[in-house]
Structure 1
Amino acid sequence: MIADIEQLVRCESPSDDLDAVARSAELVAALGTRLLGAEPERLVLAGRTHLRWRFGDSRRVLVLGHHDTVWPHGSLATHPFEVRDGVLRGPGCFDMKAGVVMAFHALAALPDRDGVTLLVTGDEELGSPSSRSLIEDEARGCAAALVLEASADGGALKTERKGVSLYEVAVEGRAAHAGLEPERGVNATIEAAYQVLAVAELGDAAAGTTVTPTRIEAGTTTNTVAAHGRFAVDVRVRSAAEQDRVDKAMRALTPRLAGARIVVTGGPNRPPLAADASAELYARAAALADRIGVGPLSCAAVGGASDGNFTAGVGTPTLDGLGAVGGGAHADHEHVRVDELPRRTALVRELVADLLRTEGPR
């Protein structure tokens, strides 16, 4: 497994580079073909390569992962692949190339894979713009979706994920000379500042809703009243009702300055993965973990989203965080605990086998 992970980590696959994603997909396809004895379907959507293995005629269990990463080209020079003192490191190892390898090895160990679909996408880190429909279509009708994203802290499975909405607020004002006649302008920088404060007030800590203005830009030169500005907004919610409330409030933003105009684009990106979507699967996984000696399990609610939000959004029971145990996703200290690789892979194998024994199509 370590050798397989090394192959994938050494093939850099930043999401925004179509050629890199295509090269990574070919390596993932070759690895899966060797371990599973079957070629995947290559699904190229908007230039991005996704891979799908279907076993048998029925669709009962969807196993889900992605092979793209946030790490730019050249990251191996500063964050080389290595295994030292029981810890594996390298760009994208935790999120989530180790999880892809774990999926292959777990399924390869099954005597019968009839009813399993394995989907490995290539744009998850971008919000799955091209693969969302594919993921949702594959999930519909399945009894369960198992997401091999990395675990939460301490190896906890992810039984609840917040939904995500992404917006851009564009502000239009009117340019003027900042020294000669600033009063003739409509300052988009000031209007953007008003709107940033208004947007930040939409959060609700008690409900677990965060509304965070992030990247901002305005103006052209230092001696010109800004005619244009824009800022991005990241929204995280625990419930569909909160996602709808914030969406309505974002679209109701009104200018504070006379002559300014506001255009809001974007909206909900991923629905919440609610606790009730994972409760039964988590209980099943916990019992299996105790039975095969890899327990006890723990679970966590997290703010980050994954493609598991999409599978839960179409009503499919979903359990997330079944992948690598470690930490540091997207960060310099990204790492995987080697001793947990066979333990967690065995759990995935047993969980898929148990679902295939007991669950028909939904």
Structure 2
Amino acid sequence: MPTSVSTDRLHDLRTRTAEMVGQLGRLVSVETPSNDLSACRAGAETVSGIAEEIVGVPADSVEVDGRAHLRWRWPAAPGQPTVALIGHYDTVWPLGTLERWPFALDEAAGTATGPGCFDMKAGIVQLFHAVAALPDRAGLEILLTCDEEIGSPTSRKLVQETASRCDAALILEPSVDGAVKTSRKGIGRYRFDVHGRAAHAGLDPELGRNALTVLGRLLLDVGELSRPDLGTIVTPTLAGGGTAGNVVPAHAWLGVDVRVTVESEAERVDGELRSLKPFLPDVFVVLAGGTSRPPLPASSTAALFARAAALAPALGLGPLQSADVGGGSDGNFTAAADCPTLDGLGAVGDGAHSEGEYVVVAAMPERAALVAELIEDIRRNHDGGPQDR
């Protein structure tokens, strides 16, 4: 495995650490909750402006159902591979979070904090500095979306199309204690709606059809679908029903989260969920939802991880670790498009989706250098032919 690296590149990126922190602060200080289209549009303008400062080119905005996804493309030269760098600028944090928890730099601890800094605005800054550190941008594609945190409903097709024409996909999602992510579970989201019949709970309960009673049986049945030995976890997550304390409930509902490591388990669970029936007469059940992300298997990441693991020590960054995680990302989609993928190349820190998430500042230039070197390594070792799909 070739390990030729440019230590000068890492040195140069380290001199830009203060600049990276400043740009991260600007990104974090523009709130971008996934479901607020106006906020995301303001965030898109900030991302594009920072990108223009770093790489000299503003974004090409791709509008889908009112959402602004951002793209940059530099066509590949003949025989040169195409590499995708993918991330998202939306966050899980609602508007107003900055009022109680603004971006802050703790110089003594060497960390920066703020809503969305770890997942994954630091990864965006690192991405653009990695690209700026390359002598040649030909064959690079960057895609930053604004709905990843809600399942990528409008950007999934863009991610898949990008992956279909690329030789590698590098996902700038945050790391796991510095480890890159070499497999992710597939995700399914479902909702049961149980429709019964209301009646007075004291005067004539026998005329009712209790939707909550049926929901209780469904809860038990759903809980039995997990197969931990196969990595399959089926979890009832949300539930509700009823209208008043003295009324037989005519409606109840249940949310279900499914995590699988292999696609066959997603198909099994989907089939078994759809086969569940109410046990009371005159009650019917409606099931909505399905698989939202396919699994990201280790086989899709093995080759790129081997390259990155060889490059990290050569850069003086120490051994690179890998991690298998239950959460999904757009890397699940790139892998499903048969594009070699490596995830978790973004920020080093902790606390994704939790109050106090933070970024290790010293790791920002290091991860940017690793991404740049990985791109160069992919180029050096490309055979000049078409993608091996």
Q: State the partner residue of 1:175.
A: 198
Q: State the partner residue of 2:35.
A: 16
Measured in 1, the distance between the counterparts of 2:241 and 2:21 equals 47
Q: State the partner residue of 1:139.
A: 163
Out of 49, 57, 60, the residue aligned to residue 41 of structure 1 is: 60
**C-alpha RMSD over aligned residues:** 1.0
Out of 211, 214, 217, the residue aligned to residue 237 of structure 2 is: 214
Q: State the partner residue of 2:15.
A: none
Q: State the partner residue of 1:312.
A: 335
Measured in 2, the distance between the counterparts of 1:204 and 1:257 equals 28
Is 1:247 matched up with 2:270?
A: yes
Compute the displacement of 1:356 (Å): 2.5
Is the 1:289–1:347 contact (alpha carbons within 8 Å) kept by the matching residues of 2?
A: yes
Pairs within 5 Å for 1:90-129: 90-129=114-153
Compute the displacement of 1:333 (Å): 2.4
Is the 1:115–1:356 contact (alpha carbons within 8 Å) kept by the matching residues of 2?
A: no
Compute the displacement of 1:267 (Å): 0.4
Query: Secondary structure of 1:155's match?
Result: coil
Compute the displacement of 1:57 (Å): 4.3
The two structures have a TM-score, normalised by structure 2, of: 0.91
Q: Which amino acid aligns with 2:96?
A: G
Pairs within 5 Å for 1:1-362: 1-57=20-76, 60-84=82-106, 85-152=109-176, 154-359=177-382, 360=384, 361-362=386-387
User: Structure 2: any 5+ residue segments left out of the alignment?
Assistant: 1-19
Q: Which amino acid aligns with 1:106?
A: A
Measured in 2, the distance between the counterparts of 1:111 and 1:177 equals 75
The two structures have a TM-score, normalised by structure 1, of: 0.98
Measured in 2, the distance between the counterparts of 1:235 and 1:226 equals 27
Deviations 1:311-334 (CA, angstroms, capped at 9, x unpaired): 001111110000001110010121
Is the 2:76–2:140 contact (alpha carbons within 8 Å) kept by the matching residues of 1?
A: no
Measured in 1, the distance between the counterparts of 2:280 and 2:207 equals 13
Query: Secondary structure of 1:70's match?
Result: coil
Measured in 2, the distance between the counterparts of 1:22 and 1:71 equals 16
Compute the displacement of 1:293 (Å): 1.1
Measured in 1, the distance between the counterparts of 2:192 and 2:246 equals 24
User: Structure 1: any 5+ residue segments left out of the alignment?
Assistant: none
Q: Work out the percentage of aligned pairs sharing the same amino acid.
A: 51
Deviations 1:303-353 (CA, angstroms, capped at 9, x unpaired): 000000000011111100000011100101211111111111110110112
Measured in 2, the distance between the counterparts of 1:79 and 1:196 equals 38
Measured in 2, the distance between the counterparts of 1:295 and 1:286 equals 9
Aligned residues: 361
Query: Secondary structure of 2:200's match?
Result: coil
Deviations 1:112-138 (CA, angstroms, capped at 9, x unpaired): 010000000010001000000000000
Measured in 2, the distance between the counterparts of 1:57 and 1:104 equals 18
